């Protein structure tokens, strides 16, 4: 009997989700025994690496990583995106944006790094030298002219003499008139995903119906008030990948190709789920 239980766990698909606050509405209720997969949490860039190595079957990966993968499929219409200010992805400029020579990039998400490069190059014709800002490091110890921060440390940045701050969601939307998609649920080739996709979409739907409950539970863990947390979920984030979001992904990809951040000739593959209809 014990061997059967062990085998059942071993046969479950492996799904990886982002460990940041922005993912909580997407995974609401997935901690039950009826969930047909194991769920782990990590930084976005780490999830992308694990998916590429075959250590995960499905993962919520940065959108730029989707275009770097081989044979990846977008399996649900659940995503992490924004329709304006996102609050948790920011560039802090110590000098005016047109004058920056160096940019430190948060290692947590490669999509935000690519977006920062695109906005600086395409809007301002600025291509700074890049520096890594390791996870867990203090940006006050970084001497770069500008610093990209994502996730929880963008929400609670340390004091810094910033002459200007860009919310990258807001900057993209104002510039393109399109939403921005930071991450999607993606499967590697050969993985059956119909049941996984249904559970992920149902979890997103449950999350959207219970944002207040999630905010009350999570706010103390992130040094936020319940009101701030609810506003972040409800006003700053967007969790549905629809036609406008698909257009935004294509625009983002085209800019990425132009800056040699992604290979050319890639076309998004959407599984037969709600997004494809």
pLDDT in tens, the chain (277 residues): 444 444 444 579 999 999 999 999 999 999 887 899 999 999 888 999 999 999 999 999 999 999 999 899 999 999 999 999 999 999 999 999 999 999 999 877 789 999 999 999 999 999 999 998 877 776 667 889 999 988 877 888 877 789 999 999 999 999 999 999 999 999 999 999 999 999 999 999 999 999 999 999 999 999 999 999 999 999 999 999 999 999 999 999 999 999 999 999 998 999 865 554 4
Domain ranges, ordered by start, for the chain:
2-81+180-276, 89-176
Rg (CA), the chain: 19
**Whole-number pLDDT of residue 275:** 54
> What is this structure's pTM?
0.91
* CATH topology assigned to domain 89-176: D-Maltodextrin-Binding Protein; domain 2 (3.40.190)
Q: What is the predicted pLDDT for the residue at 272?
A: 63
Structure token pair of residue 115? 């977006």
**Beta bridge partners of residue 240, listed in sequence order:** 78
Domain 2-81+180-276 class, CATH top level: alpha beta
Tell me if domain 2-81+180-276 and domain 89-176 are identical in fold: yes
Query: Phi first, then psi: what are they for 143, rounded to 5°?
Result: -105, 10
Residue 29: phi and psi, rounded to 5, are 85, 5
* DSSP-H helix ranges across the chain: 2-11, 44-52, 63-68, 110-124, 152-155, 168-176, 194-209, 211-218, 226-231, 243-258
């Amino acid at each position: 009997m014990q061997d059967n239980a062990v085998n059942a766990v071993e046969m479950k698909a492996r799904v990886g989700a982002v460990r940041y606050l922005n993912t909580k509405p997407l995974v609401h209720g997935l901690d039950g025994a009826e969930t047909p997969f194991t769920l782990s949490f990590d930084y976005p860039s780490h999830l992308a690496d694990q998916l590429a190595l075959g250590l995960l079957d499905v993962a919520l990966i940065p959108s730029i990583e989707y275009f770097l993968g081989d044979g990846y499929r977008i399996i649900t219409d659940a995503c992490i995106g924004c329709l304006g200010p996102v609050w948790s992805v920011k560039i802090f400029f110590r000098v005016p944006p047109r004058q920056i020579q160096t940019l430190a990039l948060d290692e947590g998400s490669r999509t935000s790094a690519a977006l920062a490069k695109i906005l600086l190059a395409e809007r301002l014709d600025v291509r700074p030298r890049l520096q890594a800002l390791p996870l867990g490091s203090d940006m006050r110890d970084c001497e770069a002219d500008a610093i990209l921060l994502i996730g929880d440390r963008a929400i609670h940045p340390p004091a810094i003499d910033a002459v200007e701050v860009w919310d990258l969601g807001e900057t993209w939307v104002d510039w393109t008139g399109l939403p921005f998609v930071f991450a999607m649920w993606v499967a590697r080739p050969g993985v059956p995903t119909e049941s996984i996709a249904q559970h992920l979409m149902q979890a997103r739907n449950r999350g959207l119906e219970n944002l207040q409950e999630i905010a009350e539970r999570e706010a103390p863990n992130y040094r936020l008030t319940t009101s701030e947390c609810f506003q972040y979920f409800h006003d700053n984030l967007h969790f549905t990948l629809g036609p406008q979001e698909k257009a935004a992904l294509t625009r983002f990809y085209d800019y990425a190709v132009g800056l040699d951040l992604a290979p050319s000739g890639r076309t998004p593959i959407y599984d037969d789920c709600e997004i494809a209809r």
